[in-house]
Amino acid sequence: MPGQVSDSGASSVVPHSSEAKTTVVYPLHHSLKPPISRLSLSWSRGNSLRVSVFRKPSDDGEAGGKVVEVKLGDGDGEIGDAQWRRIAYCSVSPFALLQSRKNSMLAMSRVSASSSPYGAEWWDYVKEYSREINVLLGGQKLPPRSVIEDPRIVLKKVEEPNCLKAAWELMEIFYADKQTQACTPERLLDWLADYNSLLSGPQPTVHSKLVNFEKELAGLQTIEEDAKYWEAISSALALGWLDIAVKILHLHGSYQLDQLGSRELENGLVEAVAVLISKMPRMRPELAPGKLGECYKTKPDFIKAWETWRAQITKLDCSAFWVECDHRQTREGLKNLLQIMLGNANILSSATCHWIELHVSHLLYIRPFTMGLESMYSLAQKCMQLKPMSSPHKLMRLLLGIVGENIEVVLAECSRSFGPWMVVHAVELLTAGSTQADILLHEERFNLGGISMVELHRLVYAQFLSSHALTWQIAPIYLTSCMKQGMGLLEILLYKQPVQHNKILLKNIEICRLYELDNVRSKITKIAGVHQWKHGKKGFGVFWLQQARDEVRLNRIAQQLFDFVGKSISDESFKQWEGLIELLGSETRTAGGLEFLHKYRDFKRSLQQVHDGIATNAAKKAAESLILLMKNPSTPHRFWLPLLYDSLKLFNWQECPLVNASQTNLLLNKLQELSMARLQPDFIEADLPPQALSSVRLALATNLGRAILEE
């Protein structure tokens, strides 16, 4: 977790505490019978530890072992590995689009010499980015509810909440929607309504209190006489959950048809309080379906409506009808609800369970006109003293960092509790409307090697992605956004990918093409070609070396191939290497040239047609190919005799001589030169029968006589 340099060393960039930390114990389920003789530990993927457990052989000779994986870290296990990978992949597009738009706006501001590159349009981009990330963090969808709603179901759920989505929405409220700061208390109320269940633990919450009440609801006979009934309404009302408060209030026994006549006054008081609750002024543009309250978009209208609403509550609180109400629990419960709406601090404190709930209730009923983070932070400090939490939740630590306007604390909490993904993507919200945060996070730091905090976190996240075989492909998106060290680390990442797998190799090459890393692409394909050639995949090796344009190695391979074919130029040996010769092509520049092998291939094909009994035209074509080969200076001496020996049928053609007198003299001269070349010590003899030379001479002499007579 990046932070300030500690006192223990100037090179340390990770803050640490000298205080002893609580030991974390991870259970190890191996199902082996004792005695256990040995344990072997090694790192697995991600933050998992692979533990090999070996059992000591017993008297009966039974031995064995088991390998289990233990996932380390303080995660709560809300999001599985597959879900994390989905989030990682789906967040690439919004991140890349926002970076592209940011770079475009910076470029335009330089051209126009504008003092601030970000305007109203930029806020729209940030909010769009935040919404897209928020959608992909959605929790598990619950099965659809029944069409006929049960009046005794107090709480409604749309999806299972998770801390990651809760943290993102929290930062979205305070950073992405700064243009609607007047609605921040209302948005915080909605946030707490969605995620109050995540705070439930050793210390109860309003949500857990309502869950317990809902379970006991079916067993209550006279519901309004139970203290838990009024406690549930008070707690829901204190947090602004008006729809829940009114719904529970309508469960009052005076609404039953058989009691309306005898409890008319009591029912009137209950309904009056319910109407006042449902008419509560809300400083927000609109309400979600099913929510209660009256919306006001401007502060003057809201203040006027608030004063009118409070006057109505005060009037009802001082009404003489309370004296005539003879049901004590109803009278006291309703009066308690009126005091909550009037902002009685003691009753609000008793109706809430911990400081964030008390904080929201104060914003609703005591300080409804509060604006600005400074006043919210001072209120939070006061509420923490009144309602401390037994064990601070990570969401609450994050909230305190936000309202305290402490960017370092927010980043540290995101890194510690939610991992590098959260830090990298949340930075875009932190710097959206704060020049101070933008300067702090983009300032180049000497103790970080000359890079900024933003680049450091992106590099850490890219390293995290690179450690897994299923996510390394998206690491380049984040590495290329790091101007100092990103491209260098990207090259290292690409070089480390295995070249024996074609799909990974093709992905590697595509990444090089996208980021114009031609030199890296050339080296990777060269490495792939050498690897494939060494492991017997000659065709793949030649193909990748051609992609790398590695003329040196291609020429070396061509020379080896040339030498091999020259030692045994039989049909079988040539057929074995014909595909590789075709792949290498005739443009390979090597001694002797593969151009000869390609012409020799064409000659062999023509000769095959002659042997198959095809017409004289094919034989003439084969003879022309032979003459061209023998005239070509690139044809080595050691191939002359095999070529002539393969052409014996052409020389002895019955219908007419296929080679004229001058051409026959050329071939005889080649035989004479061959006789001289065979005296050289480096001459390589072809694998031919001993009588091959005499057979060729006899055939040429016979053909010469026939050609002279023909002419």
pLDDT beyond 60 at 587: no
Q: State whether 469 and 373 are in the same domain.
A: no
The secondary structure of residue 53, as a DSSP letter, is E
pLDDT band at 68, cuts 50/70/90? confident
Q: State whether 374 and 463 are in the same domain.
A: no
**Which H or E run contains 69?**
strand 64-71
**What Rg value do the Cα atoms of the chain yield, rounded?**
43
Q: State whether 350 and 297 are in the same domain.
A: yes
Nearest-angstrom CA–CA distance, 457 and 485: 12
Measured CA angle at 512 (ends 509, 513), to 5 deg: 90
Q: How far, rounded to the nearest angstrom, does the alpha carbon of residue 607 sit from its chain's CA centroid?
A: 60
pLDDT beyond 90 at 313: yes
pLDDT given for residue 358 in this prediction: 93
Q: 260 or 117: whose pLDDT is higher? A: 260
pLDDT given for residue 11 in this prediction: 33
Residue 511 lies in a domain: no
Residue 499 lies in a domain: no
Q: State whether 422 and 378 are in the same domain.
A: no
The mean pLDDT value for 381-391 works out to 87
Residue 401 lies in a domain: no
Give the domain-ending residue among 395, 423, 441.
395
pLDDT band at 24, cuts 50/70/90? low
pLDDT given for residue 88 in this prediction: 92
Give the domain-ending residue among 395, 430, 448.
395
The mean pLDDT value for 230-241 works out to 92
Nearest-angstrom CA–CA distance, 283 and 297: 6
CA torsion sign for 607, 610, 612, 614 is: positive
CB atoms within 10 A of CB 1: 16
> What pTM was computed for the model?
0.72
Q: State whether 411 and 348 are in the same domain.
A: no
pLDDT beyond 90 at 280: yes
Q: State whether 47 and 101 are in the same domain.
A: no
Residue 412 lies in a domain: yes
Q: 696 or 336: whose pLDDT is higher? A: 336
pLDDT beyond 70 at 458: yes
Residue 173 lies in a domain: no
Residue 325 lies in a domain: yes
pLDDT given for residue 53 in this prediction: 79
**Which H or E run contains 43?**
strand 36-43
Is the N-terminal amide bond of 35 cis, ω within 30° of 0? yes
Q: 696 or 684: whose pLDDT is higher? A: 696
The mean pLDDT value for 629-635 works out to 78
Q: 136 or 62: whose pLDDT is higher? A: 136
pLDDT given for residue 599 in this prediction: 72
Residue 592 lies in a domain: yes
pLDDT given for residue 72 in this prediction: 64
Q: 366 or 596: whose pLDDT is higher? A: 366
**pLDDT tens per residue, range 292-301:** 899 988 889 9
Q: State whether 128 and 231 are in the same domain.
A: no
**Count of domains observed in the chain:** 4
Q: State whether 453 and 579 are in the same domain.
A: no
Residue 479 lies in a domain: yes
pLDDT band at 19, cuts 50/70/90? very low
Both tokens assigned to 115 = 């003092």
Q: State whether 464 and 567 are in the same domain.
A: no
The mean pLDDT value for 485-499 works out to 89
Q: State whether 131 and 183 are in the same domain.
A: no
pLDDT given for residue 14 in this prediction: 33
Domain that holds residue 242: 152-167+179-395
Burial of 568 (0-12, 13-18, 19+ CB in 10 A): middle
Residue 447 near residue 32, CB atoms below 8 Å: no
Nearest-angstrom CA–CA distance, 214 and 233: 12
Q: State whether 368 and 271 are in the same domain.
A: yes
Tell me the pLDDT of the chain averaged across its residues. Answer: 80
Give the domain-ending residue among 395, 414, 448.
395
**pLDDT tens per residue, range 398-426:** 999 998 888 888 998 998 888 899 999 99
pLDDT given for residue 670 in this prediction: 83
Sheet holding 36-43, edge to edge: 36-43, 48-55, 64-71
pLDDT band at 119, cuts 50/70/90? low
Q: State whether 206 and 297 are in the same domain.
A: yes
Residue 545 near residue 554, CB atoms below 8 Å: yes
**Crossing angle (nearest 10°) for helices 227-238 and 206-216:** 150
